[in-house]
Structure 1
Amino acid sequence: MTRPVTIALDAMGGDHGPSVVIPGAALTLERRPDAKFVIFGNEGEVMPLLDAHPKLKAVTTFHHTEVSVKMDDKPSQALRYGRYKSSMWRAIDATKTGEADVTISAGNTGALMAMSKFCLKSMPQVDRPAIACLWPTVRGESVVLDVGATIGADAQHLVDLAVMGAAMARVVLDIDRPSVGLLNVGVEEIKGVEAVKEAGRILRESALPHLDYHGFVEGDDLGKGTVDVVVTEGFTGNIALKTAEGTAKQIGEYLRAAMGRSLMSKIGYLFARGAFAALRDKMDPRKVNGGVFLGLEGIVIKSHGGTDAVGFASATELGYEMARENLMAKVREMMAATARPSSAPASPQVAAGE
């Protein structure tokens, strides 16, 4: 993409709304000075914050909306009252109409997925969209999906996830042939449920372009970075994600308690604080904030609802990179190269949060 990337923002989404979204967009602009923004939200809440960031305001088109989707709304409820007029819907629609290249929202995940599917539609060869995230590892980062869009998966859906995840890895990790693993209870081919074993067979025999199938991986391989892309269904993926986030917080609390336990611990911390700062930076969840909705006819990024401006900027910059590197074209190219049995049944659709 040679023209500037235009980013649509749902300013009213998340726990903190415009007070996080607008400063986060300003941080993004500092690091991505060619970015432009289309912001949707309540004028009384958004404009004072935009006025405080004149550089951002100069590259922003603002649209007033009266309706905002609440964090505890059910997807069906949000669709009923928020379709066509909420800040969330209009931000998604901006990507559909071409006013923007990517949509970012920190709002209700289930509502965002339901509205995105309704507005943008799924890609022709994709039964169900997925949420993919970046996962910090000892080797750098991996792409993990699905982390909560839908529950359950048949073999073909897992294969679709592998292809879409590899396309994202090519963009974000700059790897021409990402290695892909299926999350399982063991690495042996005889282990696991039938859907996972069948997906492994398809990937092993298909020799898909731009993808190297590694085989099965286990839970501890997520942190090791054994593969570039880890594939699982949304129930397991969401549990893995929340477990990892909780474990990171737990370790942080243990370290803080240990460092203040005695005078010698405090002195030791003074000598090692550079190393601790590096560890804290590595484990900062704000640095990898942003779930990418894959399988839709457009790019939508879900930011964590409780993040701050730094975290929201990470999600916004992820969206910028997805659009800049033309994620949609890479997904379409790789999906087109994937042989799909004509008799493959469509998987039941279960929207996130429903």
Structure 2
Amino acid sequence: MKTFSCSCGNRLYFENTRCLTCGKVLGYLPDMGMLSPLVALGDGRWRPDLEGLRGRRYRQCRHYAVENVCNWMIAETDDGVFCRACRLNEAIPNLAKPGNRQAWLRIEKAKRRLIYTLDRLGLPVFGKAADPAHGLAFAFLEDVDDSLEFNDEGGSGRIYTGHLNGTITINLAEADPSTRERVREAMNEQYRTLLGHFRHESGHYYWYRLVATSEWLAPFRALFGDEREDYARSLARYYAAGPPKDWPSRHVSAYAAAHPWEDWAETWAHYLHLVDTLEMARDYELAIHGRPVRSLEATLDATTDLYDLLADWHQLTQTLNALNRSMGQPDAYPFTLTGQAVEKIALVHRLIAASAAG
């Protein structure tokens, strides 16, 4: 993630919809990978107000113009009503229910950050309309079935955050900070955020997309284990007995020890944490030992030594954690990457670099 600049010179942030200095309406241009000030042309058309982009024409995503939960734009040549992030939605909450719009807004912000990072890494992001067999979709659902606009669960019952056949489902309750914190403590988790959910579940999606039937399957099994191990039984064992005592030397988190699939998804999520945070640190011109923080471009180079990136990550997260403690807050990154866990992150690094290159 990085920041952007308005035509007036003010710094802009990814979720902004209006410049607080000059008042211009803002929109994210996914085809350009940037947030831009806009000038209204009438008939729902807008043009960017940045040098070199003024000849382009866009429309606001319907979820921007009508629902005000998005800030992405659609190129004039695209006849869709939703931006490339919102058209991935299979199900949204019932907006007539009080509180649901605010919860949906929080979820959409996290989802768009995920899509931004996937785009920056050059990973394939296609919906089921374009690729029914391998497409990505999102469903944001509640436990109570009569409050759903769509209910893919087929009836009442609890909605589980997870991934199935390309669809990432997020329980709307995860958008409530107090509820999420209660669940985090009850599950004895170090970290639980909306963005973390999206990154983790996208790991499951890309395992099927990039690993399951590819030359990466053998390296995956060599490091993570055999995913054919009974999944339900593995999870039951984990929740009954917890992780093995030596999990920190082999996994990025305790939950990663539950099953090879969860190990992969947790490792994938940590790699996205690393990429996004290092890019933001570099954008703010943070330096380590007098040189700029290594950032996204290095992650796309398969020849880059991952240990150099991890050295910067270690220094940055130590600093972030110390700053948080100075404010009486919990650690921003409450993990330590060691041993085999680092080798697993290196495999994710190589796979993503190869995917971007080919």
Give the TM-score of the pair, scaled to structure 2. 0.28
Give the TM-score of the pair, scaled to structure 1. 0.28
